[in-house]
Structure 1
Amino acid sequence: MQLYNKLSAAERATLIEEAGTERITISFYQYHNIGNPQVLRDHLFLNWNAIDVLGRIYVATEGINAQLSVPAPNFNKFKAHLDSISFLKNVRLNIAREQDNLSFLKLKVKVRNKIVADGLDDNTFDVTNKGIHVDAKTFNELIEDPDTILVDMRNHYESEIGHFKNAVTPDVDTFRDSLDIIEEDLKDHKKDKKLVMYCTGGIRCEKASAYYKHKGFEQVYQLEGGIIEYARQITSENLENKFLGKNFVFDHRRGERISNDIISNCHQCGKPCDVHENCANQACHLLFIQCEDCKKAMNNCCSNECKEIAALPFEAQKALRKGKGNSNKIFKKGRSEVLKFKK
């Protein structure tokens, strides 16, 4: 019984292109008490692999967090399978604004301690006592209120290319880093201000809103469905768009354009740019912003050193990586000292 991938990403990309079938990129999450995450993990893999679902799915005792793509002809089968699982019946599906058949190249269903690495001890507060969920129209009204503090619950490399007007954008590398920093910065406004939060699809705000209510914030709100759902609603309801730039997404697309504003710059030359790339040197793989001119001049690398390594034959590169762990730069997205125009 196959419970793992057999094809490489390159092999899968070739098959997708040869098939010529449109794929739909989707994300969803659901907090729910799962008694045996491994059993659910195996069940999902078997059923989704059979209908050619690809993506990154985390299962934990607290629920599921999924980002995936499915062939358009198989969408109804996928939805029917979701609805056959009691706690996933009619779960909200965030459909990508910009589709790409190569958004995911493998099916990875993993059991994790948590579906989002928040660093919190859930036994110390009521995780079900969440903030008030608001739609795009109400959100737009709230963030114009002078008594509102709008907070971006994402990481620096996400908010760098796009965020809501006047939002507080913590300069952090991880979600867990932001929680205490935000509480400390806003500690004098727990009673007199409305704390309004947003993230990519809503999952980080689910936990953060309960945490901040536990910490004494009295007026806590969160954008239902995150930026993805906001973008859908402003289009379908003809609402004013208050988001600037792109929404960073965690697949091969790396971003969806929400407005035409370009609010960031190439990390190598400083020109306006909001396109993320991964360094072509696999021993580095640094995520950074790179314009087309620098991409061409640097062969998709972040530095001259990486450019030289990436030009070596594959076996020579592999030999250089042997015995070495992944560079910490992978987890310091956009932070490398070789980037002259980093945030």
Structure 2
Amino acid sequence: MKRAHNFNAGPAALPLEVLEKAQSELTNFNNTGMSVMELSHRSKEYEEVHNETIDLLKELIRIPEEYDVLFLQGGASLQFAMIPMNFLREGQTANYILSGSWSEKALKEAKLLGETKIGGSSKEDNYTYIPNEIDVSDDDAYVHITSNNTIFGTQWQDFHIETKAPLIADMSSDILSRPLPIEKFSLIYAGAQKNLGPSGVTVVIMKKELHEKTPENLPTLLKYSTHADKNSLYHTPPTFAIYMLNLVLKWVKENGGPEGIEQRNKEKAELLYDVIDRSNGFYIGHAEKESRSNMNVTFNLQSETLNQRFLEEAKEKGFVGLNGHRSVGGCRASIYNAVTKESCEALRDFMIDFQNKNQ
């Protein structure tokens, strides 16, 4: 069967090699006579997968020893609440830099749990850029950013925040898409379903010293220390999602690690942005150039009628997931790590052809 050109925003494309490897092992993993989905999470066979996955993350992201690597559930959305529950104490203020809808959602949860402030925002300009004017303090409980904004197609090109307060980042949509200055962050979290694997597991990378900030009266499962103390095996983890994460990490390593993946992602993004920039306004990019995302290319056409015609014809040609988010409309091509250059070339050619036929 011919593979679709998958530009879904999440759950998103997975490498074909990873899917084929999982398929080959689906009913008999490592000669156990069972699927990895059937293994006990306490078994030797599963624990080897679990620990190897942690080691691969440490290797690829170059995570120092003073960090824990955790596998949690509940997606990034649960992290929106867990972070202030663990680290926002009475008398402190959590600082949120707003660059899109997901940072707004993170702030909304924190407001339920303590004092917050907005240290920077591009909301007044419909999130067309990453905020440049940032107000942070060493006394902040923590500073929270969203590194890539899937809905608006903007991305932090560098992390221009200088503070002694813990810097926390939601990297759900661009983790492992490029090298990462890990030491700059106290905590990073990422839902897997865009760059790391299927939905179901959330990766948290955090400095061990943060555990000291957690109050004693939190429910057990909502304490990061619970999961750190038990190597993310306090209760049944999402074993199949972690196995798939393991295969994706091996694929990243085989493709040059974050450095190799970054070059590949830049080439893919340039294919599409070049069409937008050369279209004389036929395609209208949402993000300002210096803030453009290499993960989500967002654009509109000159009318809603053209938007709909573009999306309908694209679907007929085998392109999937090009609708913009329901909150903003328009078009969006999510070109995460596993989306092939060939799919981006096909979309580029379709965009050029569609313009020639409709201008």
Structure 1 and Structure 2 fold alike (TM over 0.5): no
Indicate the TM-score class for this superposition, using the shorter chain for normalisation. Answer: under 0.3
* TM-score normalised over the length of structure 2: 0.24
Q: Comparing both chains, which one has the higher relative contact order based on Cα–Cα distances under 8 Å and sequence gaps of 6 or more?
A: 2
Greater share of helix: 2
